[in-house]
Structure 1
Amino acid sequence: MCSPEIVRLAHDGAPRPSRRAMFGLAALAALAAVAPAPALAAPRPGAVVDLTHTLTPQLPVWPGNPPIAMVPVAWHASGGFDQLALGYWEHTGTHLDAPAHRIPGGATTEALAVEDLVAPLVVLDISAKAAGDADAVVTVADIDSWRGQHGEIPERAFVAMYSGWEHRIAEPSTFLGLDAQGRPHAPGFSGEAAHHLVAQCGIVGAGVDTLSLDCGVDPDFGAHTALLGAGRYGVEMLANLATVPPVGARIVIGAPKHAGGTGGPCRVLALT
């Protein structure tokens, strides 16, 4: 979140701001026209694919969280350098979940093993069933089906769910899928599948193209608990998963490293 001084600079002379304005929204109107990047074409072997959404104030966030604030605080015309002050909650945009996000006493961002942030990438495509079911989940049967087509999941892999949800990202209400009770509906991993990936496949982490490792209606957060409780990490809101192969690529996660962090925005790349 912005400091009081940054908010004052951004809103000096304006009427009393609303709570949302306190997060910098009023100052961001001129910046909000940036649209999410379109999906990349199928990459050639040896290509680098960006699996990261561009952070903008329009990007969907978890219900109740403020959007990112981007406030100019230095200008070329005054001092020779441009600079923005950024304000965001840790779990904004394409971001990492450290174990501490769910597990008391779990590893925080600066404690993640760097060797686990570069891994073989496996993509589980459930977009067909997600197209007709906003609460679709990756199941153990889906994992077994993938293995039947592509062989064993590589040792210490990162497993990503592709549901096709990124195509909804320009319309936050559709991306979140809130019902009349305010509950989000979007695909994720079942708790059983997440446990299976940890216990039977030895993965280092898992990711989704939605805002949560769990499907939106899971009240127990089974996937978060299984993955983060085993010391693994998650990455949420991945982009462009449809453009990388089901197996054979490697993922590189530029994870945040702030002391005591429960997660944070990251730059994620696939090397095909």
Structure 2
Amino acid sequence: MCDACLIESVKKSMLSRRALFTGAAATTAAVMASGLTTARPALAQSTGKVVDLTHAYDGAFPTFDGNPGILYEPAVKFADSGYQLWKLTIFEHTGTHIDAPLHFTKDGTSVADLPPDRLVCPLCIIDIKAKAAEEPNAMVEPEDIEAFVTANGAIPAGACVAMNSGWAAKVGDPSYRNDAEGKFAFPGFSKAATDMLAGMDVACIGVDTLSLDPGNSADFAVHFSWLPGGRFGIENLAGLDGLPAAGATVFVGAPKHKGGTGGPARVMAVV
């Protein structure tokens, strides 16, 4: 083939490809405009800021039952072998961790089977620090959700709604778990609030305390209603003060052990 013929052939090929891409882009735009694409939660347009929402924990980290949540045993010592590793005994619901549906149901979804697209969520943070300072067993109520929506817009389907009660700052102090009389005392969600969030198709709720229910709960109403619905929770969150009320995306690093009712998780937010 002559040089001129080759050049002409390349031009035609480029023009043909350009027309193909232009047509594809137009088709995609038309489909999006017609609403035929699958709805996905609106994730944050990241500025590159990453916030760790996970407490580092060891056997001294507060737990619901008061027993150490993680135990270390040397399995290989550096002095003996030139490398080292621990044998760990970990209890699922300790540290910053997930409550999977299986935690409060006989045959619900295990932590290993949580859908991946429910582990990357728009993050909405409801601040109740003022009333938690007055009442240790304060709860996120429907009116707090309504106030959030008024100030920040609708809570998107698939979101993670986290309570910021200021309790994360108490880790290491007995008041994180108990009041002066030794009774459980910490904020949580009310069932009325979580029923409202379930109707919004929220994927998960999170708390900066030991439990989704407040410390003085006698019936675990939130656990028994929220988790059996196929949703999950995150307990003992950290770092919520470093994020806006809305606009961040949370990445939930769920453990994946088969049949797990939950487990320690690395939770990160990007904004």
For residues 205-250 of structure 1, what are the alpha-carbon distances to aligned partners after superposition, in whole Å with 9 as ceiling and x for unaligned? 0100001000011112111122202100000000000111100000
Q: Is the 8 A contact 1:65 1:89 kept in 2?
A: no
Distance between the aligned counterparts of 1:95 and 1:236, measured in 2? 6
Are residues 1:54 and 2:64 paired?
A: no
**Matched residue, 2:92:** 90
SS at match of 1:129: helix
Deviation at 1:178, TM superposition (A): 4.5
Where 1:248 maps in the other structure, the secondary structure is strand
Instruction: With the length of structure 1 as denominator, give the TM-score of the two structures.
Output: 0.80
Q: Deviations over 1:83-119 (max 9, x none)?
A: 0111121001000000011122111111111110001
- Cα drift, residue 45 of structure 1: 3.3
CA deviation map 1:37-65 (0-9, x unaligned)? xxxxxxx9321100000012221111243
Pick aligned residue for 2:155 from 153, 162, 177: 153
Residue 79 of structure 1, CA deviation: 2.0
Q: Which moved more, 1:219-228 or 1:89-98?
A: 219-228
1:127 counterpart (129, 133, 139): 129
Q: Which residue of 1 aligns with 2:255?
A: 256
What TM-score, normalized to structure 2? 0.80
Q: After the TM superposition, which residues 20-39 of structure 1 pair with which residues of structure 2 at under 5 Å, given as runs? A: none
User: Quick one: distance in 2 between partners of 1:209 and 1:141?
Assistant: 20
| Identity across the alignment (%) | 42
Q: Distance in 2 between matches of 1:237 and 1:194?
A: 18
Distance in 2 (CA, whole Å) between partners of 1:147 and 1:184 is 31
Q: Is the 8 A contact 2:61 2:68 kept in 1?
A: no
Structure number with bigger Rg: 2
1:256·1:264 contact (CA, 8 Å) conserved in 2?
A: yes
C-alpha RMSD over aligned residues: 1.4
CA distance in 2, matches of 1:97, 1:110: 12
Aligned equivalents of 1:66, 1:240: Cα separation in 2: 23
Secondary structure of the structure 1 residue equivalent to 2:192: helix
- Alignment correspondent of 1:22: none
Q: Which amino acid aligns with 1:224?
A: H
In the other structure, the counterpart of 2:9 is none
1:12-27 to structure 2, matched below 5 A, reads none
Secondary structure of residue in 2 paired with 1:213? coil
Q: Deviations over 1:138-183 (max 9, x none)?
A: 0000000000100101221000000000111021x21001564x53
- Number of the residue aligned with 2:188: 188
Aligned-partner Cα distance in 2 for 1:55–1:131:
25
Matches within 5 A, 1:131-146: 131-146=133-148
Counterparts of 1:111 and 1:78, CA distance in 2:
40
In the other structure, the counterpart of 2:108 is 106
- Alpha carbons 2:60, 2:68 under 8 Å: kept: no
Note if contact 1:110-1:260 (Cα within 8 Å) is conserved in structure 2: yes
**SS of residue in 2 equivalent to 1:93:** coil
Corresponding position of 1:176: 177
Q: What CA distance in whole angstroms lies between the structure 2 residues aligned with 1:122 and 1:47? A: 17
Report the Cα offset of residue 259 of structure 1.
1.1
CA–CA separation in structure 2 for the residues paired with 1:114 and 1:137: 29
Q: Check whether the contact 1:109–1:263 (CA below 8 A) recurs between aligned residues.
A: yes
Question: In structure 1, what is the Cα distance between the partners aligned to 2:117 and 2:140?
Answer: 26
Task: Check conservation: 1:188, 1:214, Cα contact below 8 A.
Answer: yes
Structure with a larger share of its residues in helix: 2
Q: Is the 8 A contact 1:60 1:169 kept in 2?
A: yes
Amino acid at match of 2:187: P
Using the TM superposition, give the Cα deviation of residue 251 of structure 1 relative to its aligned residue in structure 2, in angstroms: 0.3
Q: Which residue in the other structure is 1:23 paired with? A: none
C-alpha contact 1:191 1:221 (8 A) present in aligned 2: no
SS in 2 for 1:131: helix
Aligned equivalent of 1:265? 264
Q: Using the alignment, how far apart are the partners of 1:58 and 1:118 within structure 2?
A: 30
